[in-house]
Structure 1
Amino acid sequence: MHYSPDSPSPLSAVIALVLSDESLQRRLGAIEVSDAFVAAVLELSVAHAIVLDPEAVRQAIRPDPLGISRWMPSPVTLDRWPTCGWLPAYSVPTGGVPALDWAWFGSERLADPFFVETVQRVASRPLSLMLRTRTSLEALAGDDATRGPEPAGFIYHMSRCGSTLVAQTLAADPANIVLSEPEPFDGVLRWAVESGAPLDEQIRAVRTVAAALGRDRSGTTRRVFFKLDSWLTAALPLLRAAFPDTPWVFVYRDPIEVLVSQANARGIHTVAGALPISLFAIPDAERLPADEHAAHMLVRASEAVLDHWRLGGGLLVDYREMPDAIVDRIAPHFGFVPDPVEAAAMRAAATRNAKVPTKTFIPDTAGKRAAATPELWDAARLVAPVHARLAALRRDSMMRDVAVTQR
Structure 2
Amino acid sequence: MLSNWIPYKLEVVDQEVSVLWLDLEDRFIAEPFFDETILDNKIYAKNKGRGRLVSQSDIRSLCEWAARIDSSTVTAFIFHVSRCGSTLLSQCLVADQKYVVIPEAPLLDDILHMDEVLLPEGISKERFFKATLTFLGQKRLGQEQLFIKLDSWHIHKYNLLRRWFSDTPFYFLSREPKAIIQSHEKRRGIHMIPGYLSEMANSVQVAERHYRDFSQFTADVLRSFYKGLINIRLQDNHLDHFYDYAWGMMGLLADFDAHVGTQLSTSEAAVTRLNKHSKYPDQVFAELQEEEDSALYEHCLSVYSQYEELI
TM-score range relative to shorter protein? 0.7 to 0.9
Instruction: After superposition, give the CA deviation of every residue in 1:73-116 in whole Å (9 maximum; x if it has no partner).
Output: xxxxxxxxxx2121122222357685321112111111211111
Contact 2:75 2:146 in 1 (8 A): yes
1:261 Cα deviation (Å)?
0.9
State the distance in 2 between where 1:197 and 1:306 align: 36
User: Which residue does the alignment assign to 1:355?
Assistant: 279
User: TM-score normalised to the size of structure 2?
Assistant: 0.88
Q: Secondary structure at the match of 2:74?
A: coil
Which of the numbers 228, 232, 248 marks the counterpart of 1:322? 248
Q: Secondary structure at the match of 1:236?
A: helix
* 2:95 partner letter: A
1:163 Cα deviation (Å)?
0.9
1:351 Cα deviation (Å)?
0.7
Instruction: After superposition, give the CA deviation of every residue in 1:213-234 in whole Å (9 maximum; x if it has no partner).
Output: 112232x121111111111112
Q: 1:98 to 1:325 in 2, by over 3 A?
A: farther
User: Which residue does the alignment assign to 1:384?
Assistant: 301
State the distance in 1 between where 2:278 and 2:117 align: 32
Question: Which is strand-richer, 1 or 2?
Answer: 2
Instruction: After superposition, give the CA deviation of every residue in 1:324-370 in whole Å (9 maximum; x if it has no partner).
Output: 23321112212234474x2x221111011111001111232xx0x22
* 2:306 partner letter: R
Contact 1:98 1:187 in 2 (8 A): no
Gaps of 5+ in 2: none
Instruction: After superposition, give the CA deviation of every residue in 1:234-265 in whole Å (9 maximum; x if it has no partner).
Output: 21112112211111111111110000111122
Contact 2:4 2:26 in 1 (8 A): yes
* 2:261 partner letter: G
State the distance in 1 between where 2:166 and 2:281 align: 33
Q: 1:307 to 1:103 in 2, by over 3 A?
A: same
User: Which residue does the alignment assign to 1:399?
Assistant: none
Residue 101 (structure 1) aligned with residue 24 (structure 2): no
User: Which residue does the alignment assign to 1:215?
Assistant: 138
Percent sequence identity is 23
**Bigger RCO of structures 1 and 2 (CA < 8 A, at least 6 apart):** 2
User: Which residue does the alignment assign to 1:142?
Assistant: 64
Q: How does 1:189-208 map to 2 (within 5 A)?
A: 189-191=112-114, 201-208=124-131
State the distance in 2 between where 1:161 and 1:194 align: 36
Q: Secondary structure at the match of 1:129?
A: coil
Question: Which is helix-richer, 1 or 2?
Answer: 1
1:297 Cα deviation (Å)?
0.6
1:322 Cα deviation (Å)?
3.5
User: Which residue does the alignment assign to 1:185?
Assistant: 108
Contact 1:169 1:326 in 2 (8 A): no
Question: Which protein has the larger Cα radius of gyration, Structure 1 or Structure 2?
Answer: 1
Contact 2:82 2:152 in 1 (8 A): yes
* 1:105 partner letter: L
Q: After TM superposition, what 4+ stretches of structure 1 lie above 4 angstroms from structure 2? A: 94-98, 192-200
Between 1:322-331 and 1:257-266, the stretch displaced more is: 322-331
State the distance in 2 between where 1:91 and 1:164 align: 24
Q: 1:240 to 1:94 in 2, by over 3 A?
A: farther
Corresponding pairs, count: 303
The alignment yields a C-alpha RMSD, in angstroms, of 2.7
Residue 118 (structure 1) aligned with residue 37 (structure 2): yes
* 1:387 partner letter: Y
State the distance in 1 between where 2:156 and 2:231 align: 10
Contact 2:8 2:38 in 1 (8 A): yes
